Amino acid sequence: MDGTVVVTGGSRGIGAAVVRALAARGTPVCFSYATHREAAEAVVAQAEELGTTAVAVRADVAEEADVRRLFAAADRLGPLAGLVNNAGQVAAQSPVVDLEPARIRRLLDVNVLGAFLCAQEAVRRLVPAGGGTVVNVSSRAAVLGGAGEYVDYAASKAAVDALTVGLAREVGPAGVRVVGVRPGLIRTDIHAGAGEPGRVERLAPTVPLGRGGEADEVAEAVVWLLSEAASYVTGTTLDVSGGR
Q: Is 232 a catalytic residue?
A: no
Name which of 188, 141, 186 is nearest 160 in CA terms.
141
Query: CB atoms < 10 A from the CB of 102, how many?
Result: 8
Q: Are 115 and 32 in contact, with CB atoms under 8 Å apart?
A: no
The active-site residue out of 33, 150, 153, 232 is 153
Q: Which residues contact 170 (CB under 8 A, 6 or more apart)?
A: none
Q: Quick one: 173 exposed, middle or buried, by C-beta within 10 A (0-12, 13-18, 19+)? A: exposed
d(CA 90, CA 69): 25
Task: Give the distance between the most distant pair of CA atoms in the chain.
Answer: 50
Q: Quick one: 229 exposed, middle or buried, by C-beta within 10 A (0-12, 13-18, 19+)? A: exposed
CA separation, residue 59 to residues 9, 43, 68, 70, 155 (Å): 9, 16, 9, 7, 24
d(CA 51, CA 150): 39
Catalytic residues: 153
